[in-house]
Amino acid sequence: MCGIIGYVGSQDAKDILLDSLELLEYRGYDSAGIALADPEGVHVYKRAGRVQDLRELCKEGVPASTCGIGHTRWATHGGVSDRNAHPHQKGQVALVHNGIIENYRDLIRKFNLEDQLVSETDTEVVAAVLDHYYRKVQDPAEAIRRTVLQLKGTFALVVIFDDKKDEIYCVRNVSPIVMTTFDGNIMLASDVTALGGYTNRYFVLPELCIATCAGGEISLTDLAGEKEVEPEYITVDWELNRAGKNGYPFYMEKEIMEQPEAIAKTVEPHMTDGLSDFTAEGIPDEIFTGCDRVCIIACGTAMHAGLVAQALVQSILRMHIDVEYASEFMYSNPVLDEKTLVIAISQSGETIDTLSALRYARSNGAKSIAIVNVRGSSIAQESDYVIYTNAGPEIAVASTKAYTTQLSILYLIVARMARLKGIYTPEETRAFLSNLTKVPEVMKQVLDKKVEIHKIARKILNAKNVFMIGRGLDYSILLEGSLKLKEVSYIHCEAYASGELKHGTIALITEETPVVAVVTQEKIFAKELSNVKEVRSRGASVILFVKESLASQIPEDEQENIFVLPDMADAFMVMPASVALQLLAYYVSQDKGFDVDKPRNLAKVVTVE
Ligand code: F6R
């Protein structure tokens, strides 16, 4: 969703802002803008459309400036238009904003703004209120403080003033801002991806602190302006560079191909002597032994990772586990107490639904562990403990390597719990985890056969509807596979527990409805295969992803459109199968000529509820 960038230093701000806005494109947006400060004041350039359109607008007549702010907007209040794009300028103030101001209507009334507003946004109201106070006090930090005290909602606000040509101010509540300095320059952004190339050291602006960026330094004070606050810098070992797609046509393909390495990097730091180990994270064993139920909260793909964990926790740990859409969690009156271990899963660490659910769970006494990819993100900060996936930056909107690295951490947690609860001996734990250490190699075998999957993908290119069927863990895998296909190919696709088809849905199966079946679970494969037969006999063409050791049992006349997945223990087949389904979705989207990395209407970081 919306992205923010700010720069003040010795270089040309326009180019830095436009390049950084491009790095933020992956979050999803529909308009973009920048504001540049010079001795004459602040100059705003903004436009509905892509950053490329903004570049065109800024080609000529833009003053030289070394200080500016920029924004990519994902419309919430007011449609997609030049006027509604950020930055918003009112009097002496220009600002960009992420988040939602809930009381903007009250503010319009309170400050008599009705006749001054030219956009339909909540953000312009904030700019007007801030300008009101700035005129009164002529002190940026004090004006911001007074404004913030008027606001209800979530916000990351970044401001420049037309008589402070080398200064940027910011403040936030919930919506993140990361900041850094390098060689006398200051950069800030809504997420670390936009700092790409300049530094791998940054800090997250603490909530309700006012940051003043001037003279190559950032100073932080609490909202009252009484106390200085020390920034807590984080260093990441990601390559925050601009190398981009590394020769691949899309980030999604690059990220699919990176999975073996990402999983190895995620698993290795958490293994000691063949056993899972979270001492580096400071997670005490009691958090695992002291809980009598587990609750996973997450959204979308991350929630699908939770569903795989659910099967493992139930079958191995024999424990009660709920997996909930974070957006539904607090409205479902969940049972929570100090014996509940809540696991919040999130790639971005900023998904507001997951963050709100985590806060709710903690306020009701639950203990929490977050599985997060982005260091220092809000969910990472607010959880009792955090385990990072080392997937590196995920730019494509469709999540791939984040999902499989989340799964990796979940396997490690289950193994740790099984060991601590005495369900597994050390030897059994090692045997279980030896499957996980084999995953990168097994995944490579699937990736090496991507051309085969590309051929298979052509079979569903022109389908309007696709069904994906399987049972048990295969069904969990397909929920994610079907989400992938929907979001990047725009084909309607349903994942269905295949035993359930005959209770209604099989009415939709015709020759026009291709069916993707995943068959990887030895215990239930005979039943899965008979469900496949049911749809074949209703005319459906079937694409079959089958585990190697089961493939010989597929009759010869049903071997068309079959992809053989390398063998792993059943509980780990989710890994090779997921990669195959990711590639399937990817190739359908690519062959349809879509912008695979930026599917319509979607945003990478979802910061509205
Ligand atoms: C789908 C996808 C989304 C995210 C969901 C949660 O490919 O990426 O479903 O998984 O929006 O995002 P995070 O993991 O950042 O909390």
Computed over every residue of the chain, the mean pLDDT equals 94
| 599 Cα distance to chain centroid | 14
**pLDDT tens readout for residues 494-506:** 999 999 999 998 9
- Return the ligand 1 atom nearest residue 484 CA: 7
Sole residue written with tokens 């052509």: 458
- The enclosing H or E element of 463 equals none
Residue 439 in domain = no
Task: Report the CATH number at residue 254.
Answer: 3.40.50.10490
Nearest Cα residue to 262 out of 570, 565, 578, 28: 578
Is the predicted pLDDT of residue 396 greater than 60, yes or no? Answer: yes
Residues contacting residue 89 through CB under 8 Å, at least 6 positions apart: 35, 42, 44, 127
Q: What is the pTM (predicted TM-score) of this model?
A: 0.85
3-state SS record for 45-67: EEEECCHHHHHHHCCCCCCCCCE
Does residue 607 sit within a domain?
A: no
In a domain, 600, yes or no: no
Q: Are residues 584 and 554 in the same domain?
A: yes
Handedness of CA 470, 472, 477, 481 (dihedral sign): positive
Residue 279 has pLDDT above 80, yes or no: yes
Q: What is the mean pLDDT of residues 426-432?
A: 98
The number of helix segments (H) and strand segments (E) in the chain equals 19, 27
The catalytic residue positions are 2, 604
Q: Which atom of ligand 1 is nearest to the CA of 347?
A: 14
Centre a 10 Å sphere on the Cβ of residue 165 and count the other Cβ atoms it contains: 18
Residue at a domain's end among 431, 462, 486: 431
First to last CA, the chain: 12
352 and 469 fall within a common domain? no
Asked whether residue 115 falls in the same domain as residue 44, the answer is: yes
**pLDDT category of residue 239 using cuts at 50, 70 and 90:** low
Do 349 and 483 fall into the same domain?
no
Say yes or no: 421 and 465 in one domain.
no
Quote the percentage of the chain above a pLDDT of 90.
86
Beta bridge partners of 564: 546
What is the span of the domain harbouring residue 567?
449-595
Place of tokens 């700092």: 195
The model's pLDDT over 210-221, given as tens digits with 9 standing for 90+, comes to 999 999 999 999
149 found inside a domain: yes
The domain that holds 217 is classified in CATH as 3.60.20.10
Q: Torsion angle of alpha carbons 396, 397, 400, 405, nearest 10°?
A: 100
Closest-CA residue, ligand 1 atom 7, reads 398
The count of structural domains within the chain is 3
The reply to whether 138 and 275 lie within a common domain is no
Which of 191, 301, 586 to mutate to test ligand 1, by most ligand atoms within 8 A of the CB atom?
301
Cα(347) to centroid of ligand 1, in Å? 7
Q: Is residue 442 part of a domain?
A: no
Distance 258 CA to ligand 1 centre (A): 18
- For the stretch 59-94, pLDDT in tens is 988 999 999 999 999 888 888 999 999 999 999 999
Domain stop point among 405, 431, 457? 431
Domain boundary among 236, 267, 292: 236
Tell me, yes or no, whether 168 lies in a domain. yes
459 φ, ψ to 5°?
A: -70, -20
* Same structural domain, 156 and 191: yes
Widest CA span of the chain, in angstroms?
A: 83
For residues 161 and 127, the answer to whether their CB atoms sit within 8 Å is no
Query: Does residue 374 share a domain with residue 232?
Result: no
What spacing in Å lies between the alpha carbon of 605 and ligand 1's midpoint? 8
Judge whether residue 608 has pLDDT over 90. no
Nearest CA to ligand 1 atom 9: 300
Q: What is the mean pLDDT of residues 256-284?
A: 96
Residue 194 has what pLDDT?
84
Q: How far is the CA of 597 from the centre of ligand 1 (A)?
A: 14
Closest residue CA from atom 16 of ligand 1:
346
pLDDT at 605 over 90: no
pLDDT at 300: 97
DSSP 8-state secondary structure symbol assigned to residue 554: S
The pLDDT of residue 391 is 95
Residues 460 and 382 in one domain: no
pLDDT for position 562: 96
Ligand 1 center to 604 CA (angstroms): 7
Look at residue 242 in the predicted model and tell me its pLDDT. Answer: 46
Same domain flag for 252 and 119: no
Return the pLDDT at 65: 96
Any atom of ligand 1 within 6 Å of the Cβ of 378? no
The ligand 1 atom at the shortest distance from the C-alpha of residue 397 is: 8
- Residue 421 maps to a domain: yes
Do 207 and 267 sit in the same domain of this protein? no
Query: Are 210 and 130 members of one domain?
Result: yes
Residue 128 lies in a domain: yes
Most ligand 1 atoms within 8 A of CB, residue of 308, 351, 601 to mutate: 351
Residue 399: CB within 6 Å of ligand 1? Answer: yes
Choosing from 27, 304, 348, 581 the residue with most ligand 1 atoms within 8 A of its CB, the one to mutate for a pocket test is: 348
Task: Tell me if residue 349 falls in helix, strand or coil.
Answer: coil
Is the CB–ligand 1 distance for residue 346 below 6 Å? yes
Contacts of 246 (CB under 8 A, 6+ apart): 254
